[in-house]
Amino acid sequence: MNIRPDLKWIFNQTKDPDLTLCRQLFSPEIARNARRFHRQIPEFKMSPLLALPNLAQMFGVGGIWVKDESVRLQLNSFKVLGGSYAVYRYLKSLLNANEELTYAELTSAEIRQKLGKITFATATDGNHGRGIAWAAQKLGHDCIVYVHAETSKPRIDAIRSYGATVKIIAGNYDDAVRQIVVDAKNNGWAVISDTSWDGYTEIPIWIMQGYTTMMAEIQEQFAGQGITRPTHVFVQAGVGALAASVIGYYHALFSADAPRCIVVEPETADCLYQSVAIGDGNPHSIEGDLDTIMAGLACGEPSPVAWPILKQTACCFVTCPDYVAAKGMRIYATPLAGDPFVVSGESGAVTLGALVSILRENGLSELRDYLRINQDSQILFINTEGNTDPAHFRQIIWEGSNPVPREHWTDSAG
């Protein structure tokens, strides 16, 4: 019986990609600057790169590696890297500082007096807002965060725990972004957004550059294992900022020898996949409520800054139903004997779930052949978030919500 796969994919047909933008935005020097700033933050330390050797053996690949951002500064997400670096760059620009400023200088009474009281503002599905709220509180400034109506209470409470004001906006994430732009202009707030739009690109670029701290750490950790680079990188995408940062970094560093990079999206919020499918070279928005358990990826409008990088350098775009993310969460949470236990939220786990589907499900041979995953492959994932919504996490792990349809069980697929 032929079983139709639930994953959809589209290959990037770009030949000889132009890597100019990757090198301009994500050079090793830029990554060093971002990491230099982050290292000054009290309690900052490198997040672990975890090996899952027994899972790799089960699926016949050389290595499965997970950069675990669930423990980053106790904020449960990688987002603080981008948000804190963008706030730093913004304050540096206000001070007209040509030299790098230290974290101690930014938190000094003298600098605070020069700057006055600033209100940082952003829209979020949860993790980015928490990172901006944390950074504003650490630096002694105010913060207001807009969330959409479906944002869970635990995510809202986490943002408020860092002193931010939270306002709930009717509609989806993109509606919250549009509203914060209007209100920030009227109130004189400083918008620190991880998506971009016409006339607003500098700060989103700073956020993306802040993520390169994570990439520099990964490469250092791989070097300690005698690995030059991963052969494959699976990276999740909402507006595409993280994906462009990860993929842009690897192409800036390795050019034509960069890993094969796969962008993974929810099937109900697949603005990047749809933009590639339309095929006119431009980013396109999608409509609807973007309903998915992957709250951090529920975005309908590609970032105009991220899009030019992704359309040049990602090798393919994959969309997944929600049960694929839930499957990834359960695999992380029930490791094979000897592999580490990983706490991963829905947005963090979808890439692992996608790999397992690709390797084991019927109907995906075209994608398997294209990716050339084999016994020598070293595959990198980024666990972008931990347990950011405890009630929903338990529903998936304990109660088995979002189950894999019987026809797609990997054991039966062989």
Element (H, E) at 12: none
Element (H, E) at 380: strand 378-383
Q: What is the Cα–Cα distance from 42 to 38, expressed in whole angstroms?
A: 9
Say if CB 289 and CB 238 are below 8 A apart. no
Say if CB 318 and CB 7 are below 8 A apart. yes
The one-letter code for the residue type at 39 is R
Q: What is the Cα–Cα distance from 224 to 250, expressed in whole angstroms?
A: 18
What is the Rg, in whole angstroms, of the alpha carbon atoms belonging to the chain? 20
Per the residue annotation, which of 6, 68, 125, 322 is the catalytic one?
Answer: 125
Asked about 194 being catalytic, the answer comes back as no
Ramachandran region of residue 237, left (φ > 0), alpha (ψ -120 to 50) or beta?
beta
Q: What angle do CA 153, 128, 115 make, to 5 degrees?
A: 115
CA dihedral 247, 249, 253, 257 (to 10 degrees): 0
Asked about 79 being catalytic, the answer comes back as yes
Per the residue annotation, which of 67, 79, 92, 311 is the catalytic one?
Answer: 79
Structure tokens at 76: 């449960």
- Ranges of beta strands (E only) in 176-313 are 190-191, 232-236, 260-266
Say if CB 203 and CB 231 are below 8 A apart. no
Helical packing angle, 322-333 and 346-360, nearest 10°: 100
Q: How many CB atoms lie within 10 A of CB 48?
A: 17
* DSSP class of 197: B
Say if CB 356 and CB 368 are below 8 A apart. no
Q: What is the Cα–Cα distance from 272 to 259, expressed in whole angstroms?
A: 20
Q: What's the gap between Cα 352 and its chain centre?
A: 14
Q: What is the Cα–Cα distance from 387 to 166, expressed in whole angstroms?
A: 20
Active site residues: 79, 125
